[in-house]
Amino acid sequence: MDQAKLFETDKFIKSYGRHQSFYPRYGWITRGFHAVKENPSFFSDEKAGIYIGVGKNMVSSIKYWLQAFKLIVPSDEEGAQRGDYKTTVFGESIIGSKGLDFYLQDIRTLWILHWKLLEPVSSAVSWYAILNHMPSNELSLNKTIEFIDEFSNANKEILGNYTIGSIKKDALCFFGMYSSNKKDNFDEGLISPFSELGLLTHLGSSKYEFIVGKKPSLTSEVIVWACKEYMALNNLESVTVRRLAVDENSPGRIFKLSGSSIQEYLEDFLKQQPGSIVLDQTLGTSTLKINNYEKLSLESLFKS
């Protein structure tokens, strides 16, 4: 393990195991979001679980995931009490009353939420470590726990204290969230919607493998939006496809795509919407430039 500091302090909330060992279930995100919209003090209400039909620990998990996906934040409104939350502009644009995907039925929204989970400021440290720095696409529970332990220890000054128990919870939650093979779970309530993304396959026992390359449900519009977000976060006016594939927190890392896959997505987008982006292939290096940022907003892309 390279002992170099891999994180900047302003990129992360020091957080392990706050999901209460629950990955997101179908219906959780929308139910929790709209409950907060209706009542900012929802998560302080002892009957919160009864209102949305889940257990007490699940309520805490839902609160964590809504914050992790950048859908809610602690309220700073006048008169707000401690423990109050408010919905974010991003959250409203996606699943608000006039949002693009009110019922969270469009799989593109899940890809966008997956991206937002890793976007700074992230409270999913173990997710960030696994997706960006795990040295192999083949994973096992034990090796993943060991890796997160080494990774977190190397960055302890930034990430703070942790326990092996909390890291194990993170690893198990990660696999449960993204693993596509859940043939034994007939109850939809036990399955994570993010398993539909096809990022991770269960090989049996405690072994898994990332699926690298183009994904059937991952559209060129989402890829171009993510490239735009990556460029904005890194103050880039242009970027090579190679960087988009291999840089920390790049579309290639977060969506598990090769450079050739990203190139194909960008070329597909150019055919559909010529003029919004430019692919400069001077000297054999493919470089992305953005001509029209407005056409690459979520609102515009969802309408395309």
Q: What is the pLDDT of residues 98-124, one digit of tens each?
A: 999 999 999 999 999 999 999 999 999
Neighbours of 213 (CB within 10 A): 13
Q: Which residues of 10-20 are buried (b: 16+ CB within 10 A; e: fewer)?
A: ebbeebbbbbb
pLDDT digits (tens, 9 = 90+) for 205-263: 899 999 999 999 999 999 999 999 999 999 999 999 999 999 999 999 999 999 999 99
pLDDT at 8: 55
Local confidence band at 181 (pLDDT 50, 70, 90 cut-offs)? low
Structural domains of the chain in order of their starting residue, each with its CATH number = 1-14+106-211 (no CATH), 28-103 (1.10.10), 220-303 (1.10.10)
CB 96 within 8 A of CB 37: yes
Cβ-in-10-Å burial (0-12, 13-18, 19+) of 117 comes to buried
User: Does the pLDDT at position 25 exceed 70?
Assistant: yes
User: Does the pLDDT at position 57 exceed 50?
Assistant: yes
The helix/strand/coil state of 278 is: strand
- For the residues 268-278, what does the mean pLDDT come to? 94
- For the residues 34-50, what does the mean pLDDT come to? 97
Mean pLDDT of the chain: 92
Computed from CA positions of residues 271, 274, 276, 277, in that sequence, does the dihedral angle turn out positive or negative?
Answer: positive
User: Does the pLDDT at position 183 exceed 80?
Assistant: no
CB 7 within 8 A of CB 159: yes
pLDDT at 167: 96
Which stretch of DSSP H or E encloses residue 133? Answer: helix 125-133
pLDDT at 158: 79
Local confidence band at 9 (pLDDT 50, 70, 90 cut-offs)? low
Q: Which has more pLDDT, 259 or 161?
A: 259
Local confidence band at 189 (pLDDT 50, 70, 90 cut-offs)? low
pLDDT at 283: 77
pLDDT at 159: 83
pTM for the model stands at 0.94
CB 71 within 8 A of CB 87: yes
pLDDT at 216: 96
pLDDT at 188: 56
**Hey, what are 246's tokens?**
């291999």
Local confidence band at 266 (pLDDT 50, 70, 90 cut-offs)? very high
Local confidence band at 4 (pLDDT 50, 70, 90 cut-offs)? very low
Lowest mean pLDDT among 9-13, 25-29, 137-141, 233-237: 9-13
User: Does the pLDDT at position 184 exceed 70?
Assistant: no
**pLDDT > 70: what percent of the chain?**
93
Q: Where are the beta strands (DSSP E) in 110-259?
A: 138-140, 200-204, 207-210, 238-240
| Bridge partners for 290 per DSSP | 277
Q: For residues 177, 181, 184 and 190, what is the CA-based torsion angle, rounded to 10 degrees?
A: 20
User: Does the pLDDT at position 3 exceed 70?
Assistant: no
